[in-house]
Each structure stands twice: as C-alpha cells, then as structure tokens.
Structure 1
Amino acid sequence: MNLITKFLTFVFAFALLLTGQNLAFAEDQYSDDLVPKLTSNTSAPPIVIEEDNYFAPYAGWKVFDDNTDSFASWYTYLLPSDAEGHFVIVDFGAGNTKKVQKINIKGYHISSSSKGSSVKDWKFYGSNDKTTWTLLSNDTYPNVVTTQSYEFNNDTSYRYYRLNILNSYFDPTGKTIGLNELELFEKSSTTPIDEPVLSGTAGNAKNTLSWDAVTGATGYILKRSTTPGGPYTTIASNVTGTTYTDTDVTNGTTYYYVVTAINDDGESGNSNEVALTPTDTTTPTGNRALLVISLTDGSTREYDLSINIVNDFVSWYEGKQSEAFVFTKEYNIGPFTSRQEYISQKHILSFEVKQYSK
C-alpha cells in the first residue's frame, strides 16, 4: 500500500469514527412472523394449515401456537411417510402471496432418555397451485432443541409453503418426527411504500374505483370481498393507472374493495376499505311508478309516485345532493295535516322502479 492510499484510508476511517459509524455491512431486515398465533388450523383466516399426518392431538397447526412446550408441537409417532418425509403446509389464501426468504425452526427431545432431536434433515418448498413445488432451501438441523434460523434467496411470491422433515435424530427412518415451532419471514422493504387512499362510485352493473398515486409505486393490486374486512380476492394485478372499473358485479350486492401499491421492494399494506353496491338507476319512462327501496337494516319502503318525483329521487341518489330525500305522503294522513318521510342515502342498500301508466 503506497503512502497516498494509506493516508486516504486513515482519513476515511477517521471520518467514520467522528460520525459514529462503523465499517460493518448492514444486515438484511425481516418482517414479523407471517403466520400469527394460531389456536386451530383455521383460526386466522384466510390462512389454513394442513399436514400429511399426525399423532393425535399433536396436529400441524401447533407449530404456530407460540408455545415452546414440547406438548404443544407437531408430532408423528411411527407413522409411515414417503421419501420426502412428513410435511406441514401453510396456505396464505386465495389472492394472498408471500415472498418467504427466511425460516426459523425449533425441534425438541422426543424422549427424555434419548436426547435425539425431533428434526434432522429438512426441505422447504413454495407453490402457487399446490401441485408444482419449487425447492427453496434444504439443510440439516443440528442435534439441539434451540431455534435455528435459515436464510435463502427467493424472488417469487407464493401462496403455499411446505416444510418437509425427512427424518429425526431420534428416528432415522423418518416415521417419528416432530416440530415445536416454525416461523416464516419476508425481507422488509428497503424503501417502505405508502398505502393508497381508495374511493369509489357505484353504478348500474359496475363499480368504479380510484385512488391517489403513490410515490415510488410501479403498479397496483385491486382486491375485493363480499364480506367486510375480507378475506379479499385479487381481481386486478399490476394496474398501472389509478382507476379501475369492476364490471363483474351483480346489482344489489355489496362489494368491499382495497388496493395495494407495489414496487421492486414489495407490496404495501391494504388501503382503506370501500363498500359499493351497484344499482340499476335507469330513468323510468312511465307517468307513474312504484319505488321499492331496500334498506341496510333489512326493511323495505314502497312508494306510489309520479314519474317526476321518481326522477327527482334518482337524480338525488346519483348526485348525492343532500343527506336525505323527503317523501310527502298523500295517503293515510289520518288526523295530521301532512306526513313526510325522510330516507337517508347511507341507509339505502338498493332500490327498484316499477313503471306503469295511469
């Protein structure tokens, strides 16, 4: 090393010292465990856990119960398996994929007299159809009962992940294996991407969605459910604009939408949820009509009106001009001088116009 190189190295190191930095490379950052604490194989929908076999009551979902007691484990006792051993599968649900790049495995001592660990050789796979599986990592778990971390490269997001345990230190044949805990992780985005803000308008046999553009996003994923809060199914992937019209809808059915932003680092969290109910708002042509309104509380209101009033109602509903529409009743007035009924727009689920001439 010549004198100039030594001098520059010294200056660089001294500058790092003054700024409180060091020469260590930054480690990869990972998400929280992608599978929450479970109390059954379906207790955190849309996630579902299954296994090829287990010795009751030690089912596969117990590897996600956050309980390190050996009795809270997945266990097979002298149960036959194929050459790939016994396995447990994580299904993240339709429209939900994850890019797992790290797993934590914890075995246990099956027998107090034999200190052989319940896990030895293992393989980890990913799939999007549960038929074709891609090997992501494989290794040998040491003969211990402590948590071991394994990191690997994976550039594909998968719906299904499968851990195969081929054998154990207790049983080299692989009939008796066990797993205390399993954790799955994604790499955290190096540049976290914001969640979009979603809005929408219901129409006749269609729902139109729009959202604010997110800085750094290369596309968007639109998801839909018929249940508030999901689970959501992806209906459009890699949308490059900030609007989308969903025409695969049925009038009178309420749909719940969220949108996420994506870039090379991953996917944002879900946006706010928007509920839309497509409705046939075709302007009637008869001189009178029966207006039947279905409300969100399950009740209905029926009005026999002139076509002008019906047109006013349709215009009010489409234009959202005020909070409520006022119907002045001309029948069943009783002892009163007038009767008026107010219908709030936010409580209208759907309405039907039955035209007739009089």
Structure 2
Amino acid sequence: MKKLFLAPLVLFFLLLFAFNSNVFAYTDGLLQNQSIYYGKDISSSEGSTGKWTDNDEATSLPLTVSSMAWYTFQGTTTIDSLKIKSNSSLLVTFYNENNEVISTYTHNSSTTSVENLPAQVANVHTVAFKNTASTGMTIYELDVFNNNIVPNIPSAPTQLTALANASSVDLTWQTGPASSTYSVKRSTSPEGPYDTIKSGIKLLSYSDLTVTPGKKYYYVVSGVNVTGESINSNEANVFVYYPGLLRGKTIHLGTSLGDTSAADVIKWTDGIDATSSPLAAYLNGWYEFNDSVTVKGLELKTNGSLDITFYDSSKNQIGSYKYSFKNGDLGKLITLDAPIENVKYILFNNKTIGMTVYEFDVLNTLDFDQNPSEPNPEPEPQPEPSGDRAILTITMITGLEKEYDLSIEEIDAFLDWYDAKENGTGSAKFGFDKHSNNKGPFSKRTDYVIFDKILTFEVSEYTAE
C-alpha cells in the first residue's frame, strides 16, 4: 500500500517541477505582468499583450519584421539590466519623456541569462524592443530591472567631431560604454592642457557658446559615472570664423568675372562648417565690393586647392594667392604676405577638378577685437559688470544648452516672460542682448529663445567684483 501511495506523490512532484521549469525565474522585474504594446513605432500601437511578461516561457507571440514592442512608465525610471528570451536578436532602445533616444543596446538571441547594460540608463520613460532581422521572430519573455549594479569605469567616448557656427561650436560624439554623463574639455593648443568647460552632460552633443571668432580650438570629451571618469576621447579641432568682408554676402558663379549664368551661393559665407556647396572645375566664384577694400587675410575651408585673384575697379589683376589643400586641413586663417589695396573684385576657382567649398571670406584686419569693415577703429569701452549677476543655463528640447551671463534685472525679465507665457499670455520668444559679445559690423545682436523649445533652465547667482 505504501508503494502505491508513493508513486502518485512522486509523479505529482515531477509534474510540478516540469511546470515550474517554464517560469522565467527572475523577481522584481519592472515589466512583470504588464501589458506590452506592439506596432511599427512607439507612436502607433497595433495592440497589446501580456504573454511576453507573464513569467512563463511556454507562452509566446510573434513580432513581425521592423515592428517593435514597448512599455511606457508612468514617470521615469533607471534601468541597469535586462533578461530576454527570443529566437532572434532585438534592438533595445531607451527614450526619455520627450521621446528622444537616450541609449540603445543590442540583445543577442543566444543569451537567455540576465544581461547587465554597459551603464545604467537614467530618466527612462519608454523602453522598446525592435525586430531588426529580415524575417519575423518569436518573443517568449522579456523584462528589465533596476538592481543598482555598480558600473565599471567608463570607456572613452569615440568619434568626437567639432563644427563651427557663426558664433559657436557644435560637438557630437559616440557613447562611451558605462558613461552616465559627459564632460567637455577645451584647449587653444593641440593635445592640451585642457580646461573643463561643461560637465554633467547627459546627451551625446553640446554647443560651446563661449568661443572667440578668429581662434582655433581643440576639444576632447570624457565619460563619467559613480565609479570614476574615463580617459579622454579623440581630439577634435575647429577654427571659428571671424565675420569678414564677405560674411552673409551672396557669391556669384560664372565662367568668368562678371558672369552670373550659374546659381548664386550664400552657403560659403555664413560662417557655418556644416553648410557647403560644390564648385565645378569650369566655374568661378566671384564678388564685387561696393567700395574698394584692403585685404590682409583669408578664411576658408575646402576639400581642394584654390586659385584666388584680386582685381581693381578697372578689372585689372592686382594680386593673387594660391591655396594648396593638404589632407586633414580644416577651416583656417591665412595671412597674406602683404596687404592688397584697392580690391574691387575677388575671384576664386579650381581649374583642374570639381570640389566642395564650406567657407570663404576675406579680412581687412587681423586684429580680431576690431570691426572688419572699418580699418583699426578705436574700440568702444564696455561697461564693467556691476551689482549682482547670474549665469542662466537653458536646456532646449533638442539637448542644446545655451548659457548667458546676465544682470539680475535681465534674469527677472526672463522669469517674468516665462511665467506669463506659461499662463498663456505674452510673446512666444524672448531676446537676450549680446552686450560685449557683439562682434562684427553690427549695431546690436540679439539671441532669441522660443518658449515651447525650452526643456529646463537653471539660474546660478554670483556677485561681480
């Protein structure tokens, strides 16, 4: 009788063990028993399911090609690990509350154990799992976790690039694994020493608004987390263009001086590295000044050599310069051996092959504290800061950060505008006077911010000495 009683009991436990072997077997998952949406992107749901988060590997559901599954948290959370069972790899993407990508991770289908992410991902509002394969796939179970894993020291960020704008430098880089934030460092000499100009950056980009036209800068970026700081990234250097005699002017294109048969170009004189236009071998770029000028230097960025010719008002050649491009050349300032006076026309071309021109300008002064349209004027004294002041740091929804050194009165004006607009009244934009940063031939420069483009802002008060 005892043997007959034990047999069913053993069978019961064997069945129980077999049943439990399907359990995903991980506690405190952030997605456990939650409904997961699926569709082509996180803004277009085609349905939802609980089979992927029921802690049971025996249940599954297919995910079609290029489709994704996602879950949106009520607020934000930090994720440091995940566990997935699928028959194909998944691209895991983490979004913030503005649906901007803050990190990605590729899950290999051969891994079914817990995977620690290279770094904690903070401020996650939505986590998505995308089928990047060329065929449909099956997901059995997925979950993400916040286990407060102590990360390794970050690896160095990579592929740092620097592009000049009219009065700033835009930096972008690729993530350094295990980095929580990034620090941007700058020098005016190659290979440093570097000064840290911004830390605590959470995105993979930064705009340096504290540059001086006519200078070359060298940048590196490091990754930072609670464990420490990485070594520096590759160095990126950039020349910030001074607003010369051609800034904002339209350059004509033609087969000879005076010919306008081809389309005009404005991208060559905007002071922005990221804009460019081709120059065909059989065409010339040329410009006529309203009055004759003296040329002392050149600013340019190209991917080929240029022949530059200067003419007087009678179209007689009065000077020339041959720029020989070398691999690795970036934007640069060129000082002529001697000033060329009475220049009415300037023409440039490449007679051998087509090329791309990013920036082209001429200067009649090499003193970058002076106005280039007037030879050696007396500088106007700028008022010294007086009284209490503050640094206003505005973070835009694109991740761009803008910094302004303002008086308390200007800070109050900004706060009054922001509060009014938040309550539905007032202008959609607010202007900041550039004050002593008013470089170039301008009577006044104003930098505007748009209300609905502002993500956050910070006011740091100090007392001017």
**Greater relative contact order, per chain length (Cα 8 Å cut-off, separation 6+):** 1
Give the structure-2-normalised TM-score. Answer: 0.27
More strand by share: 2
TM-score (norm 1): 0.34
